[in-house]
Structure 1
Amino acid sequence: MPKPESFPIEKIFVPTKLKKAIKPEIVGEIAESILDIGQQAPISVRRDGDRLVLVEGLHRLEACKALGETTILGVLVPAELAQHKPLLSERPEVEAERIKMARLKQLRLEKEAAEASTAALKRVSATEAPRARPAKGVRDNPKASPGRAAKLPPKSLSDWITQQKGSGGRY
């Protein structure tokens, strides 16, 4: 297998047929990955006169362009091999891996959103707790009847709904 080398991005020609296959969401995922761990797989290019023609790695190339890179790791393949090798994006195992990674990313985002929501509710509860005062005349009076105690603000949305249902209020 040829050794990966660095190629100037502006010298790489992308055939029109490949340009039609660009998926912005994949480019974004790859760009994030490149920022985190660097480019792991080289692209494949072939010589065509003075220019290089992209054979494989469209989304990696576009991700590097989006990140402002001027060079990209790639391997130079002979024209004969370029025509017989199926594109990486056409391989079913690659598509399955991409779907799996997208699913994992979605689960991670959902988990982060849930954690952020929980943290926001805790902050709101913490800031509202000092403001809550007992009703007038109910301060630590052991003789006060339990039915006349001040209502505490609900701690969660479900507590609030339960409180509204109990009092006949609209919610």
Structure 2
Amino acid sequence: MSKAESLPIDKIRVPAKSRKTLEPGRIQTIAESILDIGQQVPVSVRPEDDRFVLVDGLHRLEACKALGEMSVMAVVVAAESPQHRKLLSDSTELEAERNKMARLKQLRLEREAVAAITAVPAKSSQERSTGAKPVTSSARTSRTAAPSVSRPKSLSQWITQQKNDGGRY
């Protein structure tokens, strides 16, 4: 199987038939992902004279173009055949990339959960009805007061911080 290599985008021709399947929303999503973690899956091209013809990866190619990239990671295949997709999907390198993407997605979800949990809490019902803050004992206040430690960056850091502060999680 061919190795992925960097090819100039202007040397890749996209067949007119493929252009009809473009989805702008999908291009934007892929472009955001490329900005976050880089291009994970190469496009497939086949040689044609002194250029290349895109076989697979139209949205990835267009996302790279939208980001102003001059080159794209590509795998050169001998011809457009159903076998090249099977070879790419069976690759252990691509499996490792898929696992990496799953881990990165999990980390992003953890960060979003921490951001949601540590957001400014809503006023209690007593504060809303009377406009005054509820009276608390000094022991309770010191236990629930926001720590001077910086905001945790992951869910596991938040749980550790809660354990150290004596809070419930």
TM-score by length of 1: 0.52
Distance 2:58 2:42 in 1: 11
1:75 counterpart letter in structure 2: V
Contact 1:8/1:70, CA 8 A, preserved across alignment: yes
Query: CA 1:9–1:154 in 2, change beyond 3 Å: closer, same or farther?
Result: farther
> Which residue in the other structure is 1:5 paired with?
5
Distance 1:26 1:87 in 2: 20
Counterparts of 1:14-163 in structure 2, within 5 Å, are 14-79=14-79, 82-85=80-83, 115=116, 119=119, 122=122, 152-153=130-131
Contact 1:9/1:65, CA 8 A, preserved across alignment: yes
- 2:39 is paired with a residue whose SS is coil
> Which residue in the other structure is 1:138 paired with?
none
Q: CA deviation at 1:120?
A: 6.6
Q: CA deviation at 1:28?
A: 1.4
* Structure 1 unpaired stretches of 5+: 89-100, 130-150, 156-171
- Aligned structure 1 segments of 4 or more residues deviating by more than 6 angstroms: none
Query: CA 1:154–1:43 in 2, change beyond 3 Å: closer, same or farther?
Result: farther
> Which residue in the other structure is 2:152 paired with?
none
2:58 counterpart letter in structure 1: L
Contact 1:55/1:87, CA 8 A, preserved across alignment: no
- 2:7 is paired with a residue whose SS is strand
Query: CA 1:35–1:153 in 2, change beyond 3 Å: closer, same or farther?
Result: same
Distance 1:154 1:24 in 2: 50
How many residues of Structure 1 are paired with residues of Structure 2 in the alignment? 111
Contact 2:2/2:77, CA 8 A, preserved across alignment: yes
Q: CA deviation at 1:30?
A: 1.1
Q: CA deviation at 1:85?
A: 4.5
- 2:130 is paired with a residue whose SS is coil
Distance 1:3 1:34 in 2: 20
Q: CA deviation at 1:87?
A: 7.0
Distance 1:84 1:66 in 2: 28
Distance 1:32 1:153 in 2: 43
Q: CA deviation at 1:23?
A: 1.1
